[in-house]
Amino acid sequence: MASAKETILWRVRRATRDVPEDERPEDVAVARGYRKEGEDARAEVVDRFAAHVAEYEATVHRVAEDDLPGVVEKILAGRGIQRLVVPPKLPQSWVPDGVEVLRDAARPRLTNEELDGADGVLTGCALGIAQTGTIALDAGPGQGRRALTLLPDYHLCVVREEQVVDLVPEAFAKLEEAVGVEGRAVTFISGPSATSDIELNRVEGVHGPRVLEVLIVG
Amino acid sequence: MTIKPPDAFSPGETPTFEASAKTSLADSQLRRNLGKATQTIRRKRAAVVEEMPDWEELREAGRALKERTLRHLDAYLLQLEESVTKAGGVVHWARDADEANRIISGIVREKGANEVVKVKSIATDETKLNEHLESEGIHAFETDLAELIIQLAGETSSHILVPAIHKNRAEIRELFLRELDVEELSDEPKDLANAARLYLRKKFLNAKVGISGANFAVAETGTVAVVESEGNGRMCTTLPPVLVTLMGVEKIVPAWRDFEVFMQLLPRSSTAERMNPYTSFWTGVSEGDGPEEFHLVLLDNGRTDVLADEIGRQTLNCIRCSACLNVCPVYERTGGHAYNSVYPGPIGAILTPQLVGIGKPGSDSLPYASSLCGACYQVCPVKINIPEVLIHLRGRVVRHKQDRGGLRERLDPENAAMRAMAKAFSDPELYENAQRLARVGQWPLVRGGKIGSLPGRLAGWTKVRDLKPVPKQSFREWWKEERG
Amino acid sequence: MRVALFITCFNDTLFPETGRATVGVLERLGHEVEFPMEQTCCGQMHFNTGYQREAIPLVRRFVEVFEPYDAVVAPSGSCVGMVRDLYPMAADLAEDADLARRVADLAPRVFELSEFLVKKTGVTDVGAYYPHRVTYHPTCHSLRMLKVGDAPLELLRNVRGMELVELGEAEQCCGFGGTFAVKNAETSAAMLGDKIRRVLDTESEVCTAGDNSCLMHIGGGLRRLQAGINTVHLAEILASTEER
């Protein structure tokens, strides 16, 4: 008896009999007339990123590089964050002295219970998208594995100005190597966890972190 | 508690759309909930689409990419299998719902799990996976807020994106008070969401197996994407050591870079946001990050039949955004349950009858659940010409009745009337006779210069409207008289 | 220009005054109008209800009758939509390549009245006079199939003596939809109810549109309610002058 795979492929081929034998996928024209790269000046792009992130009810701060550690310390203290999850390779200078650090590593990994019991997580990111106010994580340095930014109820994310791209297509181009070559998992985050399931009104805070705070460093 | 209506994908005969619509039209609470929700989302969608100067170019690219994928689906499926396998995943093929369910319950049983956590997946609603798992002693926890609501209520989805759109906050509060073991709860959406968070958190932390659908899978890299809002998708695809994803064979996109099109089209069309809160992209298994085991189940279940219909094929472009539901004047009034399918609204009216096959009275009625107003086509982000497919399917339904139906179908008064009229229209002389006949034949019905009630199948018209009688002189009679 | 009037079977039988008005407007603008007596029905009702094999002879007849003309004008967006959008599908179904070619040749020359006036001949003022308060309902097929856009409104704005009132949620379907109004009578009525509410809100005397089918549906409802609002086809407003 034919396997399910053989049967499905046979059905697909029979269903597409109208496609000429010698047609290749790239013969089906795809007009890509949409915008691939933004044309605006950097300052404008970064401003837009900040504005769009804020529209999702995330808190946004613009800080100078030198002020970063101080600002992080102040924000965490203001939020009452005591137990802070820190991913591998996060710059040590970002982590304030006064908090209890839960450092994740390949061995030993923090357990899900430890992550769930933490007050928050501090990470960097792979890039930011101005057009949509999105932060992309690709498990690179200072970002850690996916569970780190998921279980703690508070996420403080540092985005460097030079990491902000204007349009969505620029982001997928930049992430291509991390995915295609290294097979890394990518997560797009646009504001805190939310739902529109009740009367189609967006409310913030369901299963993911209920508070997202973004520091734009430039 | 509402009893689940029969569904196009369950055994047994489902009611027709006309019959089910009567019930929902009479439900004033439903009409109010739906009207409010669809009007809100329509306005928001229009605003976020308006800010995109290249929206039409994106739609065209999305359509073309889907066409490319579907015309070469065999090659892309093989490429996807290879990429996923190379990335450490396991690929399974399922000819139909039963096969998919058996594959999935097999994996769950092998892990010794009697509970799984699930992300909203219409493909699993189509295969009735939850019922199957239950019959094997495995409980599936729906973790999407709306899916949880309808699971707790024992109901079925009424919207592709917002399955509980038919319920308002007061109804949800009552349900949670009854089912979630909470003492106090307001009807504020924030509090309701929090109740769900507390209820499901332990399930996420302890689950051995997560089950998801897929919004997209990339043939080139093997990357699977789940687009969501609440974070339950991230939970299910990240925390459990084993992840099983069920996806229809049509969900493939050729390359990673093609996300630059679909990830712009989908969020704005579905939740009317620039971007949805969370999208997870994973490629097989990542060492030390997320599940240790990943299974991808590729489901046919009628999709190759849709593919075989050259006009119907475009239905498989669908990225399940639900924009067509939100603009549909029929959906807005009847709601999703009237469609008796996990795929309601305009897209459901063309997808369901093609997936289950023409010749079933319930699903055959769906292509007629439209005034052909075309609002759906106008908003579709992948340019599915839904009115065209509706009309094409009506043709298939009628031809199926005429060619394969029994005596009852052939003696159907509609069939007889249509044939008689076609004959009359075939010749000007017969046509003019028919015009005269209509003028004479109507007299028993005319009262006070109007027709207030028609007999038989036409009675529906005069229930709410008067009909104007046929005037004494037709246009052509006037023309002959004046100009002839 | 040799202009043929495609009256449509529906208008021919039920709304002859719309046909007379269409002829009046076109002739007033200097067009020579012909009425091919061999025409019957475009086949839309059959085609859209699924009786598509039965519609094919009607498609053939239409093509044969109207092929010789430079332009074909009809006071119905819906029937013109059938010819332009669905005749190619009918020709495919008939597996008739010759018919497909002839359809492709003829279809671009078939126009809905407002489209012919504004888009084809560039006329927006037809010299009409109509001293009434009027609201306009854009029918779905003229709006979304033919994409006539603002053409009917441009014509109406230039009608003297008339007060044009905007209709709320104008682009929502009235619920007619051909046999939909019979097969799904309850849903159709629910849609009609909302449309009528919007029409009543305008406090107009007249509701107009480019299709008598939608108007018969809306008008039938208004009449049943004794709403005191008439439905009048766009062509009849455009044909109306101070002299008559």
Query: Taking a C-beta distance cutoff of 8 angstroms, is the pair C9, C46 a contact?
Result: no
Return the SS3 of B8. coil
CA Rg, chain B, in Å? 25
Residue A4's CB: how many other CB atoms inside 10 A?
Answer: 18
Select the residue from B365, B465, B470, B473 to test the C interface by mutation, using most C Cβ atoms within 10 A.
B465
**C60 and C34 in a common domain:** yes
Select the residue from B17, B373, B472 to test the C interface by mutation, using most C Cβ atoms within 10 A.
B373
CB proximity A54 to B under 8 Å: no
B286 DSSP 8-state letter: B
**C141 and C106 in a common domain:** no
Q: What chains are in contact with B, requiring at least 3 Cβ pairs below 8 Å?
A: A, C
C82 DSSP 8-state letter: I
Cβ burial, residue B15 (10 Å; 0-12/13-18/19+): middle
3-state secondary structure A12-81: HHHHCCCCCCCCCHHHCCCCCCCCCCCCCCHHHHHHHHHHHHHHCCCEEEEECHHHHHHHHHHHHHHHCC
| Residue B2 pLDDT | 46
Q: What is the largest CA-CA distance in chain C?
A: 52
**C153 and C107 in a common domain:** no
pLDDT of residue B252 exceeding 90, the answer is yes
Share of chain B above pLDDT 70, in %: 99
* pLDDT confidence bin for B457, thresholds 50/70/90: confident
Q: Determine, for residues A8 and B95 on separate chains, whether the beta-carbon distance falls below 8 Å.
A: yes
| Residue B6 pLDDT | 76
A120-123 and A83-86 strand pairing: parallel
Which run of H or E residues covers position B252? strand B252-253
- Among residues 27-46 of chain C, which lie with CB inside 8 Å of chain B? 35, 37-41, 43, 45-46
**C107 and C20 in a common domain:** yes
Does C222 map to a domain?
Answer: yes
How many structural domains is chain C composed of?
A: 2
Query: Taking a C-beta distance cutoff of 8 angstroms, is the pair B326, B40 a contact?
Result: no
**C162 and C83 in a common domain:** no
Does C244 map to a domain?
Answer: no
Helices (H) and strands (E) in chain B, counts: 24, 12
Share of chain B above pLDDT 90, in %: 83
Cα distances (angstroms) measured from residue A33 to each of A37, B55, B212, B315: 12, 10, 33, 24
How close does chain B come to C100, measured CA to CA in Å? 16
| Residue B403 pLDDT | 93
Q: What is the distance between the alpha carbons of residues B145 and C193, in angstroms, rounded to a whole number?
A: 34
Mean pLDDT over B461-477 rounds to: 92
Q: What is the pLDDT of residues C22-75, one digit of tens each?
A: 999 999 999 999 999 999 999 999 999 999 999 999 999 999 999 999 999 999
CB proximity B474 to C under 8 Å: yes
Among A51-60, B317-326, B401-410, the least confident range: B401-410
* pLDDT confidence bin for C2, thresholds 50/70/90: confident
Q: What is the pLDDT of residues B130-152, one digit of tens each?
A: 999 999 999 999 999 999 999 99
Residue C64's CB: how many other CB atoms inside 10 A?
Answer: 14
- Among residues 143-182 of chain B, which lie with CB inside 8 Å of chain C? none
pLDDT of residue B167 exceeding 50, the answer is yes
Residue B428 neighbours by CB under 8 Å, 6+ apart: C37, C38, C39, C40
Residue A6 neighbours by CB under 8 Å, 6+ apart: none
**C44 and C20 in a common domain:** yes
Q: pTM here?
A: 0.96
> Angle, nearest 10°, between helix axes B73-86 and B55-71?
90
Q: Determine, for residues A206 and B41 on separate chains, whether the beta-carbon distance falls below 8 Å.
A: no
| Residue B63 pLDDT | 98
pLDDT of residue B1 exceeding 50, the answer is no
Type of residue found at B253: V
Q: What is the distance between the alpha carbons of residues B391 and C89, in angstroms, rounded to a whole number?
A: 10
State which residues form the domain around C228.
133-239
> What is the number of alpha carbons within 13 Å of residue A144 lying toward its C-beta?
28
| Residue C244 pLDDT | 59
Q: What chains are in contact with C, requiring at least 3 Cβ pairs below 8 Å?
A: B
Domain end residue (candidates: C73, C89, C121): C121
Query: Taking a C-beta distance cutoff of 8 angstroms, is the pair B420, B429 a contact?
Result: no
What domains appear along chain A, each with residue ranges and CATH number? 40-217 (3.40.50.10420)
> What is the number of alpha carbons within 13 Å of residue B1 lying toward its C-beta?
13
C92-124 b/e with 16+ CB inside 10 Å = b? bbbebeebbebbeebbebbbbbbbbbbbebebb
Cβ burial, residue B80 (10 Å; 0-12/13-18/19+): buried
CB proximity A108 to B under 8 Å: no
Residue B430's CB: how many other CB atoms inside 10 A?
Answer: 13
Q: Pick the closest to residue B225 from A173, A187, A130 (CA basis).
A: A187
Q: What is the distance between the alpha carbons of residues B298 and B320, in angstroms, rounded to a whole number?
A: 17
Q: How far is CA A69 from the centre of its chain?
A: 22
Q: What is the CATH number of the domain that holds C229?
A: 3.40.50
Q: Which residue has the higher pLDDT, A98 or A176?
A: A176
| Residue B448 pLDDT | 83
Q: What is the distance between the alpha carbons of residues B94 and B96, in angstroms, rounded to a whole number?
A: 6
**C149 and C75 in a common domain:** no
End-to-end CA distance of chain A: 64
Asked whether the bond before A169 is cis by omega within 30 degrees of 0, the reply is no
Q: What is the dihedral of CA C143, C148, C151, C156, to 10 degrees?
A: -40
Residue with tokens 């009115």: B387
Q: What is the pLDDT of residues A132-189, one digit of tens each?
A: 999 999 999 999 999 999 999 999 999 999 999 999 999 999 999 999 999 999 999 9
| Residue B409 pLDDT | 78
Q: Determine, for residues B278 and A168 on separate chains, whether the beta-carbon distance falls below 8 Å.
A: no
Q: Pick the closest to residue A195 from B290, B191, B332 (CA basis).
A: B191
- B266: tokens are 């989908």
* pLDDT confidence bin for C189, thresholds 50/70/90: very high
CB proximity B371 to C under 8 Å: yes
Cβ burial, residue A197 (10 Å; 0-12/13-18/19+): buried
Which residue of C19, C51, C57 is in closest CB contact with B418? Answer: C51
**C152 and C51 in a common domain:** no
Q: Which residue has the higher pLDDT, B160 or B317?
A: B317
Q: What is the pLDDT of residues C60-82, one digit of tens each?
A: 999 999 999 999 999 999 999 99
Q: What is the pLDDT of residues A73-94, one digit of tens each?
A: 999 999 999 999 999 999 999 9
Q: Determine, for residues C40 and B427 on separate chains, whether the beta-carbon distance falls below 8 Å.
A: yes
CA Rg, chain C, in Å? 18
**C52 and C151 in a common domain:** no
- A89: tokens are 């390779």
- Among residues 280-319 of chain B, which lie with CB inside 8 Å of chain C? 311
Q: What is the distance between the alpha carbons of residues A160 and A218, in angstroms, rounded to a whole number?
A: 6
Residue B400 neighbours by CB under 8 Å, 6+ apart: B358, B359, B364
Going C114 to C120 to C125 to C126, the CA torsion angle's sign is negative
Backbone angles phi, psi at A100, to 5 degrees: -85, 120
Query: Taking a C-beta distance cutoff of 8 angstroms, is the pair B148, B142 a contact?
Result: yes
Q: What is the pLDDT of residues C99-126, one digit of tens each?
A: 999 999 999 999 999 999 999 999 999 9
Residue B342 neighbours by CB under 8 Å, 6+ apart: B7, B8, B9, B122, B125, B126, B156, B157, B348
Domain ranges of chain B: 17-305, 413-483
B223-228 and B216-218 strand pairing: antiparallel
* pLDDT confidence bin for B325, thresholds 50/70/90: very high
Residue C8 neighbours by CB under 8 Å, 6+ apart: C41, C42, C74, C75, C76, C79
Q: Pick the closest to residue B142 from B126, B161, B160, B124 (CA basis).
A: B124
User: For B17-305, which CATH superfamily applies?
Assistant: NagB/RpiA/CoA transferase-like (3.40.50.10420)
Strands (E), B64-159: 90-94, 115-118, 139-142
Type of residue found at B321: C
Domain end residue (candidates: C92, C121, C150): C121
B257 DSSP 8-state letter: G
Q: Determine, for residues B275 and A207 on separate chains, whether the beta-carbon distance falls below 8 Å.
A: no
Query: Taking a C-beta distance cutoff of 8 angstroms, is the pair B291, B40 a contact?
Result: no
Does C58 map to a domain?
Answer: yes
| Residue A201 pLDDT | 76
* pLDDT confidence bin for B157, thresholds 50/70/90: confident
- Among residues 432-471 of chain B, which lie with CB inside 8 Å of chain C? 435, 438, 450, 452, 457-458, 460-461, 463-468, 470-471
Does C127 map to a domain?
Answer: no
Q: Tally C-beta pairs within 8 A across A and B.
A: 266
B459-484 b/e with 16+ CB inside 10 Å = b? ebbbebbbbbbbeeebbbbbbeeeee
Which residue of B165, B205, B229 is in closest CB contact with A194? Answer: B229
CB proximity C230 to B under 8 Å: no
Q: What is the distance between the alpha carbons of residues B162 and B156, in angstroms, rounded to a whole number?
A: 11
Query: Taking a C-beta distance cutoff of 8 angstroms, is the pair B284, B217 a contact?
Result: no
Query: Taking a C-beta distance cutoff of 8 angstroms, is the pair B246, B298 a contact?
Result: no
**C166 and C114 in a common domain:** no
pLDDT of residue B289 exceeding 90, the answer is yes
| Residue B4 pLDDT | 62
**C100 and C36 in a common domain:** yes
Which residue of C39, C57, C182 is in closest CB contact with B458? Answer: C182
Q: How far is CA B391 from the centre of its chain?
A: 17
How close does chain B come to C69, measured CA to CA in Å? 19
Which run of H or E residues covers position C92? helix C87-93
